[in-house]
Each structure stands twice: as structure tokens, then as C-alpha cells.
Structure 1
Amino acid sequence: MTVLLSDDRITGIPAIENREPLVDLFTRDLATTGRQFAREGVADRLALADTFLPTGIRLHVVEGLRPVERQQEIYDGYRAGLERLHPGISDHDVHVLASRFVSPVEVAPHVAGAAVDLTLVGAHGPLDLGTPIDATPEQSDGACFFAAANISREARTHRALLADVLTAAGLVNYPTEWWHWSYGDRYWAFLEQRPSAVYGPAYSLT
């Protein structure tokens, strides 16, 4: 069973901030949508993963660091939609359901600069990875889950390639979102059996 970001096994992991700086991913020669920032360790690992890809294919980062206010707005909006879809759902259950797609702000990897949303691009644009980035489980009938069966063979091949290069560089995937990869956050610490995350909220750096 997938462990979600709302799980006590994740929320109970401490974050011991190492004060690593945020960097502009442009300085690592990474393709991005607009200016995107991440922790230095994340940026370096993404740059390494990019070199593992076959000629003509590159990583493309759509979003990195996310302001805490924006994270809360996304969570609140998605949760409200779930409450409309499931009238009478309990606070606990809707919180868990929402965390499949949007992290609770108190543990959100994007807020720490520890996560990126990304895809693969080729000479003619984005490759097929089964769904658009940010397709919800409801919109995609679960095809947004990394291991979803209801995607094409081509999309499965591209997801496997994405996983190969990012895993080799030390990042981990949140399995309900094929596009979400992180390093140094609580989910990474859980999967890598580390005692703590190394990045807390990025606003703590100021």
C-alpha cells in the first residue's frame, strides 16, 4: 500500500535544517518553465540525472520551490473539491485523500525547495508520460500514479526512463504523481531509512 505524505510515518520524521542554499536551476543548465529554484543538492542531482539521458532527450522542470501560501491555496482548493465530491466525508479522511495529490503544507517538499515537478522533452517537444503534469487522480482515473496500468506502452517506457535516471542520481518519487521527485525531504528520509530530513521550510533560511 502506498504511504502518503499525511501518514504518521512521514509527519513524524524530524527535519534538521542543514542551511543549504537555494539555487536557480538555470545555473545548472537545466530546461525549466520560467525561473525555478531548488536546494543546491537537488539541483546538482537533477543536473547529473540529465546527463544520464539518451542524446536528444532532456529533463524539463515545470516547478521547484513553491511559496507556502501557494501550497496552502492548492491544498485548500483540492480538499474543497473532494468535500463536494464526497459529501459527509470526515476531516481525517478528506485530509488523507487530499494528500494523494497535494502535500499538507507542514510537510510539503516543494515548500522546502526539496522537490520538483518535471517531465521529459525531446526534439519535438514533451514526450508522452501518460497524463499531463498535475492531472488529479479523479481527472486521470488514477493514471497519474507512477505505476498505473492504464497508460500506453510508450508512456510506461518514458516513465521507466525518467525513474532510471532520477533514481540513479539519488532522488525519490512520490508514487501518486509520476512527475514529483525529491531529495532531502521527509519522504526521501522515509524511503532511504534516514533518521531525519535535511531540509525544512525554505523560509527558515532567511
Structure 2
Amino acid sequence: MCDIVLISDPRVSAIPVQESGEVLADVRGRLRVDSRLADADGAYAHLRAGLLARLEKAESLLPSGYHLLIVEGFRPIPTQHRYFTEYRDELLAANPEMSPEEAHVLASRYVSPVNVAPHTAGAAVDLTLCDPDGVEYDMGTQVNDNPEQSDGACYTGATGISPEARRHRDLLAAALEPSGLVNYPTEWWHWSYGDRYWALMTGARSAVYGPATF
């Protein structure tokens, strides 16, 4: 896992954005959506239209009995800022010897700094797999379990998970990667398209989605 590129890496923020102007589209009614992180305005259930189209393609690539379950998409900037600072501050409180710079980097394993956050662009989705009745499959951890809670099992390539959970993670990747998405390897559930991290990982010259307004 030492070769993982974190989203706080300067190479990510160096990627330019050529905003496409694509709209945020409502996922509800097109894919299964979980309400655990629902907000009053329904922002969580919106994604850039191009990303949503790719998720619909990925859904069609899953074997019978498996479906995507969307947990969170678009995230307003104030929410993203709150998530990041709260987690960073938790790390600092638990590790008094840690510098603010070190805490910033470690926090980025789990929450993106606002300036490069793909969720604020509607370019990232947190999701899992479920059966036709909406029952989630074993993925090794819950969506949004952080590295401390999961003892590192939240990392996509974690070795300490069951064979069944590994198979399910591989099924998810086998549907999402051919559809053009990239995974953030510290979070098996986080996939994106069109953002700066995606651009760096795919060799694209620029991102096509910058911060969006809901």
C-alpha cells in the first residue's frame, strides 16, 4: 500500500480543470439509492450526468442478483470542509506528537481536502453492492469505516478480509473500471470520474468537473 497516491499529493492539485458545465442529475429512479446520508435538499443523490451514465453502464455489467447501491454523491463545500476538519482534528487529538501538516496528509486517506474534493464536483460516488431486495453484500467493512475503525480493511487492496468480501470488491471493480471510473485505493467504496484525481490516474490532461453548485 506504500505506493498509493493520496489525494493530498501536489500532483493532484496541479491538474487543471476545464469545466464541462455538465448538470448535476438525480440518481433516484435510475439506480438504487440508500438514504443513510440523505440531506434535506437531496444533494447526496445527485451526480454529474456523465458519471451517472457510466454508473448505469456499470450496473448492466454486474452479474444477475447484484446491483449498485448509491450511498452519497454530490457534497456541498461546507459539508466537505466540516468532514475534513473534524477527522483531521480527531487525528491530532489522538496523536499529540503529530504536526498539522502530517495530520492533513493522513486525513486525506479518508476525506479529501476541499480544494481537490471530487464529491464537491459531483464527480465522486460512494457506493456498495446489494441484492435485489436491497440487502448489502459483505464488502469487508461498512461504507465510510475509516482506517482506524477498520484496522486498514477499508483499503481496497486490504489482505485481512474474507474471500467473499474480496470477491465482492472484485465484482464491483470489474463493473466500474470498464465504465471509466477510478477507485481511491484507501476507500473501496469511493469511485470517481472526471475529477482531478481521475485525471492523474488516467493520464488525462485536465479534469472536466470542478466544484459544482447544487
**TM bracket, shorter-chain basis:** over 0.9
Code of the residue aligned with 2:69 in structure 1: it is H
Question: What's the offset of the Cα at 1:123?
Answer: 3.6
Partner of 2:112: 103
SS in 1 for 2:57: helix
Partner of 2:76: 67
Partner of 2:197: 187
The 5-angstrom pairing of residues 105-124 of structure 1 reads: 105-123=114-132
CA contact (8 A) 2:23 2:49 kept: yes
Partner of 1:176: 186
Partner of 2:143: 133
SS in 2 for 1:126: coil
TM-score normalised by length of structure 1: 0.96
Residues of 1 paired with 2:77 and 2:145: CA distance? 21
Structure 1 residues 50-71: Cα deviation after superposition (integer angstroms, max 9, x where no partner): 0111111100000000011110
Residues of 2 paired with 1:154 and 1:147: CA distance? 14
- After TM superposition, the runs of 4+ consecutive aligned structure 1 residues lying more than 4 A away are none
Q: Greater shift after overlay, 119-128 or 147-156?
A: 119-128
Question: What's the offset of the Cα at 1:85?
Answer: 1.4
Code of the residue aligned with 1:6 in structure 2: it is S
CA contact (8 A) 2:6 2:109 kept: yes
Structure 1 residues 119-171: Cα deviation after superposition (integer angstroms, max 9, x where no partner): 00014500000000000000000000000001000000000000000001110
Code of the residue aligned with 2:114 in structure 1: it is V
Match of 1:79 among 51, 73, 88: 88
Structure 1 residues 50-97: Cα deviation after superposition (integer angstroms, max 9, x where no partner): 011111110000000001111011101100110011103112111100
Residues of 2 paired with 1:69 and 1:33: CA distance? 22
Partner of 2:13: 11
Q: Greater shift after overlay, 179-188 or 12-21?
A: 12-21
Partner of 2:164: 154
Question: What's the offset of the Cα at 1:26?
Answer: 2.0
Are 2:33 and 1:32 equivalent residues in the alignment? yes
Residues of 2 paired with 1:91 and 1:196: CA distance? 30
SS in 2 for 1:38: strand
Aligned length: 203
SS in 1 for 2:119: coil
Residues of 2 paired with 1:109 and 1:202: CA distance? 10
TM-score normalised by length of structure 2: 0.92
Partner of 2:175: 165
Question: What's the offset of the Cα at 1:15?
Answer: 1.3
The sequence identity of aligned pairs, in percent, is 52
CA contact (8 A) 2:92 2:100 kept: no
SS in 2 for 1:59: strand
Partner of 1:50: 59
Question: What's the offset of the Cα at 1:33?
Answer: 1.7
Structure 1 residues 176-196: Cα deviation after superposition (integer angstroms, max 9, x where no partner): 000000000011100110111
Code of the residue aligned with 1:154 in structure 2: it is E
